[in-house]
Structure 1
Amino acid sequence: MTPPATSRVRDRLRAEVTDAAARAADLVSTLPAPADRSPDQQARATSAQVRARTARRRLLRDQSELLYREAVGASLRRLSLTDLSYLLADIVPGLTPNRAEMEMERGRRQSAKEGLEIDQGIASSALLRSGAGADLLRSQRLPTDEARSRLAEFQRTGAVEMPVVSVRRTDGVAEITVANQRYLNAEDEPLGQQLEIAIDLALLDPGVRVGVLRGAVMEHPRYAGRRVFSSGINLSLLCAGQIPFLGFVMQREMGYLSKIQRGLWDPRQQADPTARGGKPWIAVVDGFAIGGGMQLMLTFDYVISSDTAYFTLPAAREGIVPGAANLRLGRVLGPRLARQVLLGGRRIGAREPAAALLCDAVVAEEEVDGAIDEAVHAMDNPAVLANRHMITAFEEPEDHLRGYLAEFAEVQVQRLYSQDVLHRLEQQWMQRQR
C-alpha cells in the first residue's frame, strides 16, 4: 500500500498538472488560431504553456514509472505509443493531449498547430528515462495485432498485399516491396504501419529465414519504369500536418526499425538463447536512399546498391534530426565523414570509395538480381543468426538506444515546432496553394 504522505504528494502533483493544463486551455480558447495571433496573444499563450509544462515535468520526474505501470497493467499486449499517450491523458487529465484534442490538432497544417505533440514528446522522453523505459522499448517490438490476424493467411498463401507494401514468401525468403507510388516511396504513417506489418509477418513465420526489402518499379513520370528505394520523410504531408510525432516519428524508431535490428520481443528471450536475434535482412537500394531511406539502410545486415544510386541525409538542411542516424552513422563511416553527411548534407554516390562503407555490394542495374541471390545464400545460415545477435547486442546495447531515443523524443519534437522549420514548411504550403 502506498504510504499516506507519498499518496498526498502523488495526488498533489497530478492535480497541479490538471489545473495548469486547464488554465492554459481556457486561455487558448479565447484566442485566435495560432497563425492569426498577435505577438502579445502568442506571448500569453506561450507563458501559459510553459507553466503547464513545468508542472508536467515535475510530475514526470516523480512518477513516470508509476504512470507507465498504471497505464499498461500486467498485459503483454502491444500498446502503441499513441494509445499509451491517450491512457496517460485519462489517468492524469492534462498530462498529455487527449484523443479529441489531437483530432482537432491533426486537422491543421503543421505551422497552424498549437504544438500539443510537444507534450507527447516530453512524456515519451520521461518514460524512456524511467525505470519502465526498458519495458516500454521492448514492448514496441511485440507483433502488431494486424500482423497476428494476417499470419495464417500469409502462411497459407505466401503473400499479403497492402495498399503501398506487399510481402511474398519464396523458398524461405520474405520479399517486401514498397510501392508508395504518389510520393516516390517517401515515408509516412500509412507506409510505416504497413511496413511494420510486413516485417512482423516475416519474423513470425517460421518458414521465413531471410528478409529482403526493395522499392517497387515507379509510375511517377520522372522515374517511370525504374525502381527507387526511399525519398525519406514525406515533406508534403509533414507540411500539411499529417505526419504524427508518436504515430510515425517515434513508432518508426521503436517499432519496425528496432524489429529489423533485434527481431520481435519474446519474453522467452530471458531464458532461451535460441529465441534471440531476429532474422537476417537484406536491403536493395535502387535510385536513391534519401533521409529516412539512408537511416533504414543502417539497420540492415547486408546492403546491395545499384551503381547509379546515391545516399544522403538532408535533415540538417530541413531543420530536423535524422532519426537514429546520429547514433549509428559514426560507427559506419567514422566520425569525420559522418559529420560531413549529418551536418553538411554531403551526398555519397554508389561509385565513390565511401560507398563501400555503406554497402556490401555495388553492382550494375542488370546484376542486382544476381547479387540478391548471392546475398540470400550468404545470409541463410544458422550461424548468421547468432552472430548478428551478438553484433547488435554489444555494438548498440538496448540501454544505449534507449538513452538516445529519450533525448531524441524531446529534441525532435521541439525541432518540428521550431520557428525556422515552421517558416520553411509554411513557404512550401504557400507555393503549393499557388
Structure 2
Amino acid sequence: MTAAPAAVGTLDATTPAPSVPAAGVEESWRAVAATAAAAGRPLAELPPPADRTPAQRQAAEEAKAAARGLRARFLAEHVEAVYDRLTAGRTRQPRLADLVDAAARVFTGLVPDAARLADERARPQAAKEGHEIDQGIFAGAVLGSPTAGRHLMASMRRPTERALALRAEFARTGRLDLGSVLLTRDGVAAHLTLTREDCLNAEDDRQVDDMEAAVDLALLDPDVRVGVIRGGTMSHPRYRGRRVFSAGINLRSLHAGGISLVDFLLRRELGYLSKLVRGLTPDADAAWHVTAVEKPWAAAVDTFAIGGGCQILLTVDHVIAASDAYVSLPAAKEGIVPGVGNLRLTRAAGPRVARQIILQGRRLWATEPAARLLVDEVVEPDRVDAAVAAAVNRLAGDAVLANRRMLHVAEEPTDVLREYLAEFAVRQALRLYSADVLDKVGRFSAGRP
C-alpha cells in the first residue's frame, strides 16, 4: 500500500486506508462511494446551513467529516489511477476546472457535480455547505502525487483558449482591453495595467481570468521581451487620480460567495502566477532545448500592494516602488492562507520578517530598510515611469532569460512548489469555511470599498 500524500493523510492520519478490490479504479470507487454516501446522508435531513442550531451544525460536520475521510483515503490509495483514467493515461492535458468536472462525472460522489456547485455559488459564503472542500481534497491528492502533480502543473501552464483566440488581434494592434486588465505593447515591453477602479484592483474570479489571458499574450508575443505589471488610476474618492497596485482579495466577493477554490484560489497559483515564474509549457513540436516560453517581469507599486498584490511582487524579477507606497500580506487578519506567499516570502525576507508580515500583519513601507528585501528600487512617485523604462532596458538583455531560469531552479524547485500546493489545496479549502473567516469577511466587506 502506498503512503498517503501529506495533504490528504493529515486529514485523518490515524485511520488506515481500507483494502480495495483489485478491480478497475471505477469499480473500486463504487465500492467506497456507497459507504461515503451513507455517511453523508444525515445532511439531507437537516435545514440549510444558516438555519441550523449548534447541535445540528455539529451533526452536519460529523457527517461531512466521515464522508470526506472515506474519499481522502480512497484518493491516497488510488489517485494516480484516478488521474490516469481522467486524462487517458496523461495523453490529455485538462485544466484543473475540467479535471474536477470530469471527476464528478466519472467518479460520482468523489467531488461535487456541476448542479451542486451551481447551487452553492448562488449562496453567500456563510450559507454554503462547503462542498468545495471535497475539491480541495481531490486537488491536494493529485498535486501530492509526483506523477499526476507534475502533469497537472504542466497542463495549467499551457496558454488559455481565450489567449489563443486573442493572439492575432494583439499581434496586430498591440492593445487589448480585457476588462480588468489593459494590455499594451510599447517597444519590447508588454504593459499589464490593472484597471479595476471600482474595487482598488481587488482580485476576484474575473480578474484572475483577465490576468492569465494577459500574461499568456505577453509570453506568446515574439516582439515582447519584458513584461511590466502596474496598477491603473483609481476613481475611488480616497484615491481618485492616484495609481493603486492592488488591494488583495476582494472580500466583498468572498462574503457574497463569489470567490471559488478552483477558479480563483487554485487557478491563480497554478495559472498566471506560475506562468510569471516558470513561463508557458511549450508545444510538443518545440525545439529540444526549449523547456518553457518565458520572459522576465517587472512590477511597479504605487500606493500599496496588499495581499495578492504582494504575492505578485514575489514572482517577478524586479520591483519598483514609489517612496510613499507600502506592501503587506495580512493573511492572519483575513483568516486565509496567502497562496504561495508563505513559501516565497520566507525565501525572500527570511523567517522572522515573514512571520511578522503574515502572522502579525506588519506593513512594510517602501522607505523602511526591511522593504529592500521585497523591493529592488525606491523612487519618488513622479520618477516611477522613468524607473520602469530603465528596468525594461536592463531586463531585455540577451543572457537574462538563461540566468533567471537557473535562479528559479535554485530558489523554487518544481517538486517543492508541488508539495506546498498539495497541502495548500486542503488548508485553503478548510479556511474558506472556517467560522472565523465567515465572520471576518462579513465585517471587512461592510467596511471596505
Q: Give the alignment's TM-score, normalised by structure 2.
A: 0.91
Range with greater deviation from structure 2 (13-22 or 51-60): 13-22
Between 1:136-145 and 1:413-422, the stretch displaced more is 413-422
Distance 1:20 1:165 in 2: 47
Residue 421 (structure 1) shift: 1.3
SS class of match (2:172): helix
1:81-92 correspondence to structure 2 within 5 Å: 81-92=96-107
- Identity rate of aligned residues, in percent? 48
Q: Are the structure 2 counterparts of residues 33 and 427 from structure 1 closer, same or farther at C-alpha, using a change threshold of 3 Å? A: farther
User: More deviation in 19-28 or 266-275?
Assistant: 266-275
Contact map agreement 2:95 2:152 (CA 8 A) in 1: no
TM-superposed deviation, 1:8: 2.9
2:394 matched to 1:367? no
Aligned to 2:138: 123
User: Quick one: which of 204, 210, 217 aligns to 1:194?
Assistant: 210
* Count of aligned residue pairs for this structure pair: 427
Give the AA of the match of 2:104: A
Q: Secondary structure at the match of 1:305?
A: strand
The one-letter code of the counterpart of 1:158 is G
Amino acid at match of 1:81: L
Structural mapping, 1:205-244, within 5 Å:
205-244=221-260
Whole-angstrom CA distance in 1 between matches of 2:42 and 2:309: 42
Could you tell me how far 1:35 is from its partner in structure 2? Answer: 1.1
Q: Secondary structure at the match of 2:109?
A: coil
Which amino acid in structure 2 is aligned with residue 23 of structure 1?
Answer: A
User: For 2:386, what is the secondary structure of its paired residue?
Assistant: helix
Q: Which runs of 5 or more structure 1 residues have no equivalent in the other structure?
A: none
Call closer, same or farther: CA 1:400–1:208 in 2, change over 3 Å: same
Q: Which residue is equivalent to 1:105?
A: 120
Tell me the CA shift for residue 268 of structure 1.
5.3
- Maintained 8 Å contact 2:142/2:149: yes
Q: Deviations over 1:344-387 (max 9, x none)?
A: 11111011111212111110111111101110010001200000
Pair 1:9–1:66, CA change in 2 (3 A): closer
Deviations 1:82-122 (A, max 9, x none): 22111111111110000110000001111111000100000
In the superposition, relative to structure 1, how do residues 355 and 277 fare at CA in structure 2: closer, same or farther (>3 Å)?
Answer: farther
Structure with the higher helix share, 1 or 2: 1
Q: Could you say which residue in structure 2 is the equivalent of 1:310?
A: 326
Q: Residue 279 of structure 1 corresponds to which residue in structure 2?
A: 295
Residue 389 in structure 1 maps to residue 402 in structure 2: no
**Mapped pair 1:31 → 2:46:** yes
Report the AA paired with residue 311 of structure 1.
V
Q: Which of 290, 295, 315 does residue 299 from structure 1 map onto?
A: 315
> One-letter code of the match for 2:227?
G
Q: Per the alignment, in what secondary structure is the counterpart of residue 181 of structure 1? A: coil
| Residue 271 to residue 133, structure 1, CA distance change in 2 (3 Å) | farther
Matches within 5 A, 1:37-48: 37-48=52-63
Aligned pair partner of 1:321 in 337, 344, 347? 337
* Equivalent in the alignment of 2:95: 80
Matched to 1:356, the amino acid is R
Following the alignment from structure 1 to structure 2, what is the Cα–Cα distance between the partners of residues 216 and 427? Answer: 27
Contact 1:17 1:95 in 2 (8 A): no
Which residue type is aligned with residue 413 of structure 1? A
Mean Cα deviation higher: 61-70 or 419-428: 419-428
Q: 2-side partners of 1:191 and 1:24: how far apart? A: 38
Shift of 1:42: 2.1
Deviations 1:396-430 (A, max 9, x none): 0000000000011111111111121122234457x
Distance (Å, rounded) in 1 between the aligned partners of 2:159 and 2:149: 19
Contact 1:127 1:133 in 2 (8 A): yes
2:159 match: secondary structure: coil
Whether 1:51 and 2:79 are equivalent positions in the alignment is no
Would the alpha carbon gap of residues 428 and 338 (structure 1) be closer, same or farther in structure 2, given more than 3 Å must change? closer
Q: Is the 8 A contact 2:111 2:135 kept in 1?
A: yes
What is the alpha-carbon root mean square deviation over aligned residues? 1.9
Contact 2:246 / 2:305 at 8 angstroms: preserved in 1? yes
Change (3 A) 1:48 1:313: same
After TM superposition, the structure 1 stretch with the greater mean CA deviation from structure 2, 208-217 or 14-23, is: 14-23
* Amino acid of the structure 1 residue aligned with 2:335: G
248-257 or 337-346, larger mean C-alpha shift? 337-346
* Amino acid aligned to 2:106: I
Distance 1:153 1:395 in 2: 36
CA contact (8 A) 1:276 1:389 kept: no
Any idea what SS the aligned residue of 2:264 has?
Answer: helix
> How many Å apart are 1:7 and its aligned residue?
3.9
Q: What whole-Å deviation, never above 9, does each CA across 1:175-215 have from its counterpart, x for those lacking one?
A: 11111111100011000000000000001111111101111
Which residue number in structure 2 is paired with residue 264 of structure 1? 280
Deviation at 1:21, TM superposition (A): 4.4
Residues 1:427 and 1:378: Cα distance change in structure 2 (over 3 Å): closer
Aligned letter for 1:117? Answer: E
State the match for 1:155 in structure 2.
Answer: 171
Secondary structure in 2 matching 1:413: helix
Gaps of at least 5 residues in structure 2 are: 1-19
CA distance in 2, matches of 1:361, 1:428: 32
1:272-299 deviation line (CA, Å, top 9, x unaligned): 3344361000101101000111111000
* Cα contact 2:219–2:293 (8 A) shared by 1: no
Distance 1:382 1:195 in 2: 26
